[in-house]
Structure formats: C-alpha cells, structure tokens
Amino acid sequence: MQVNETLVRNVVQEVLKRLGGDGAAVAGPPKAQGRFGLFTCPDEAVAAARDAFEQLSRRTLEDRRRIIGHVRRICLDQAVELGTMELEETKIGRLDHKIEKLQTVALGIPGVEYLRSEVFSGDHGLAVIEHAPFGVIGAITPVTHSLPTAACNAINMIASGNTVVFNPHPSGKRVAAEGIRRFNEAITRDLGLDNLMTIVVEPTLQTADRIFKHRDVSLLLVTGGAGVARAAMQQAKRAIVAGPGNPPVVVDETADLDRAARSIIRGGAYDNNLLCIGEKQVFVVREVFDAMLAAMERAGAVRLGAREVEALTKAAITSVGEGEHKHDVPHRDFLGKDPAVLARGIGKTIPQGVEMLFGETDDSNPFVPVEQMMPFLPFVRCRDVDEAIEKARLSEHGFRHTAVIHSTNVNNMTKMGKILDTTLFIKNGPSIAGLGSGGEGYGSFSIAGPTGEGITTPLTFTRERRCSMIDNLRILGK
Ligand code: NAD
C-alpha cells in the first residue's frame, strides 16, 4: 500500500499539538510562511531564515530597498507605541529616548545605498571586488536597546542580502518579537517574503548556544556585555563582537566648559546612560576642576556632596562572584533608572526634569571602573592632562570602545587619541555625536570593538568575491 507521507505527518502533528507537544520537532519544520518570524525552536527559526535567504537571493536590490523601507517606516510611524512597549518591558531608560532611538534607526542606519564594489583596471583587464552575503546570521541583542538593535542589525544585514535569526535578551524579548512580527507582516504583504528576520520568542542561553553552533548559521553578531562577548569568541565560526565599554571623558584647561557640560549631560544622560558609548566617568585637570563643576550645575545637573556620593555608591554598586571572580556591578534597582530614583535612594529630592547627578570622587570609587549605566557621573580631579589621560586609559579597561575629550589643544587631543586607541574618539561634543547624532557619519547600535569591524554597516556582513576579466574590457588607451 502506498503511504501518503504528508497525510501521516499532518496527523502526527495534529495529535502532538493536541497533547501539547511540538509536532514540528518530530515531523520536520512546519510550513514557515505566515509565522512572521516568530519561533520557539531555534532550529526552526534557522530553517525558516535559511529558506528566506534562498528566496531573497533571487530578488533584486530594489526589492531589498523596499524590504528595508518597511522596517524604517514601522520604526518611524510606530516609534511612540513600540518605544513605550520597550520601556514597559525592560523598565530601564527614558521614554523620550526609547522613541528617539527607533526614529534614529529609521533615519540614520545605512542600507542598500551603502553597498559598493571596488575595481582594479590595468594592462591585464579588470578585476571587480564585490561584496556578497554570508547567508543566515545569528544575532544576540542586549536589553539596553532591544528592538532598536534588532531593527538596526536587520537593516544592515538584509541590505547586503543576508537573513538573520535573533536570540534577544530575555528581559526585552517581547518588544523585539513584536517588532520582528510587524516587519515581517508588512514585508510579506508587499513582497510575499516571510522570515527574513526570525526570532526565538523564549530565548535562553541554550537557544543562543544552539544558534551559535548551528551549521546553517554562517556568521555571528553579538551585542552585549563581557559574558556573551567571551562566549561568542570561543565559537568555531566567525563572530563579530560588539562588546562592553566604559567611556571616559577628559576635560583640559583649554576646554569650553559650558559646552563640555552640555555635551556630557546630553551623552551621559541619554536613555539614563544605557548607551555603551555614553559618558561614564570624567577626569578634569585641577586648574579648571571647580569651574567645570559649576558649569555642570549651570547646565542643569545636580551636584551631590561627599556624603551623598558615599551613600549612593553603597546603594547603587554591588558585587557579584566569588574569590578571584568577585567584582563590582551596578545594582539592578538603579541601573538605567531616572535621576530622581537615584536621588530618592539616598533620601534626596531633586527638581523635576533634572537629567544628571554628579559629584567629586577619587579614581578608586567604584563608579569610575564600573560600567554603571546610570545617570550619575563621578568627576575626578587630576594634576594635569597627562594624569587625566592616564586615569582615563585605566578606567577604560582596554575595551578600546569609546573615549571623549573636551579641549582646544590639538596636541592633547592627539595624545589621548593615540593612548586610548578606541573605536570611537569624540572631541568637543556628546558621545552620541560620534554615531552621527549631531556629528558626521552614520549610526549603528552594534559597535564591534574586540573583533575590529568598528561601527557596523551593510558591508560588515559581507564576503569579498573577485570577478576577473583577463586582457579585456579595460577601455582606456593602450
Ligand atoms: P548582557 O551581556 O547581559 O546580554 C547581552 C545578550 O547576551 C543578551 O541577549 C543575553 O541573553 C546574552 N547572553 C549573555 N551571556 C551569554 C552567554 N554566555 N551565551 C550566550 N548569550 C549570552 O548585556 P546587556 O545588559 O543586555 O547589555 C549591556 C551591555 O552590552 C553593556 O556592557 C554594554 O556596553 C554592551 N553593549 C555594547 C554595544 C556595542 O555596540 N558594543 C551595544 C549595546 C550594548
């Protein structure tokens, strides 16, 4: 008797579904069209993204532009709704900046227009270097910007012809999944392509590891702290790692102090200091130290006295780990919280609208070495610019992520640039200007310091391919 395989598979799936099991695991992946990128099983998420990659490979660049257009449009038109959702789920950061980050994704992340080819033209003809997709990329996203990172990565990756499977941070998984669902739904309606971005809706370390190791995942992008950076770099396949930062600021005696203060507040207070590029500790030469603190107050920040700084340090910095692994970390009750919450934690009331708290500390205060991700900045008094740069270097821990200087002395800028050796080095502006927000250049939510790709673009997610024409098609002279 001839067995109808499809019928049997459907019956098995139906029975398992009624029993509450995952029929797909036994009978192969269900038809993925119509899932709009949402999967519980990482293998299914990869399979659907792989299938979508095959389909995308047959589409035009214009189609890629349209696909990305839907991601941009949703980020822009639905920024308030999705930004609110992100804040309600993660409970860290600021609503105005959650909204602004989605708008930044819509307007500031490079897409298809960023692609280019290189050419060698000579006596022996032409060689064209083109940038091809990898295939399916496995991506890990942080809680600090869950949907903005996913949307930014998706724009970059799809622009260069890849598809992506996300393992989001568990504390930001719902908003990431909702965004991915909306993107896929709009793209499916317009172009009939689903699952260009897939997401594991119940992410765990195990699902991340499954994606890391999956043979159909060709490349990894991880955005997060030291733990995930280490895990990704131990994999047997290439990983692009956007790891942690602890950006120091140096202010020398030649700086425009009011401008420096406004910049430090703009960058350091952004989303309550959740950005990996955000100003985290400030080293000021003693000649202008008191004047700099006065400038911070003029710019609207609230200064804490020595006792208050001590109380906040006790409340907001805690330690984890045992023995040699014991280290300080920000306390979750304060991480990414409003300045008013920090102030309340030490029994202080501050006026509404204050964006930043600050106070004098020495460089042994944990707020200096810890990536605190909260709107309190420690200011350290330094003998001269050399001491300030050296303390800045130590506080950055060699992450080579981001550093900022306020100065009009080109020699000091050059010295700090060389010594800190960071991926982003911003002079006389807020850190966010280094990502194009008030400065030149494009933006990204994944800055790959440890592995060296820098501020990611569509070209970051490509393989070089060379196409050579021998002794012909050079149409110049002899
Ligand atoms: P996190 O390291 O706690 O989590 C990041 C992601 O990694 C999450 O999805 C988490 O579930 C996953 N993860 C953690 N350990 C893992 C492991 N061993 N294996 C697999 N996955 C693992 O970081 P976070 O709190 O979400 O984000 C803040 C950190 O990320 C900060 O250190 C910040 O500097 C950094 N960050 C860097 C960039 C950048 O572009 N370089 C951008 C944003 C955030």
Determine whether the shortest distance from the Cβ of 211 to ligand 1 is under 6 A: no
Query: What's the DSSP call for residue 364?
Result: T
- Which token pair is 463? 């393989």
Residue 25 has what pLDDT?
40
In tens, the pLDDT along 273-317 reads 999 999 999 999 999 999 999 999 999 999 999 999 999 999 999
SS3 category, 84: helix
Kindly report the backbone phi and psi dihedral angles of residue 376, in degrees, each rounded to the nearest multiple of 5, phi listed first. Answer: -125, 125
- C-beta of residue 293 within 8 angstroms of C-beta of residue 379: yes
CA 142–ligand 1 middle distance (angstroms): 5
Q: What percent of the chain has pLDDT over 70?
A: 94
Amino acid at site 306: A
Identify the helix (H) or strand (E) that includes residue 424.
strand 424-427
Ligand 1: nearest atom to the Cα of 144? 27
**Which ligand 1 atom sits closest to the C-alpha of 444?**
40
Closest CA to ligand 1's atom 17: 228
412 three-state secondary structure: helix
What digits encode the pLDDT tens for the residues 445-461?
Answer: 999 999 999 999 999 99
Q: Would you say the CB of residue 225 lies under 6 angstroms from ligand 1?
A: yes
Structure-token match 């400030």, residue found: 282
Q: What is the mean pLDDT of residues 310-339?
A: 96
pLDDT confidence band for 4 (50 / 70 / 90): low
Q: What integer pLDDT is reported at residue 190 of this predicted model?
A: 98
pLDDT (tens digit per residue) in 460-477 = 999 999 999 999 999 998
Q: Is the whole-model pTM more than 0.85?
A: yes
Kindly state the DSSP code that residue 305 receives in the 8-state scheme: P
Ligand 1 pocket test, pick from 143, 228, 270, 271 with the greatest ligand atom count within 8 Å of Cβ, gives: 228
Host H or E run for residue 302: strand 302-303
| pLDDT at residue number 477 | 84
Question: DSSP string covering 31-81, please?
Answer: P-TTSTTEESSHHHHHHHHHHHHHHHHTS-HHHHHHHHHHHHHHHHHTHHH
Q: CA angle, corner 217, sides to 178 and 43, nearest 5?
A: 60
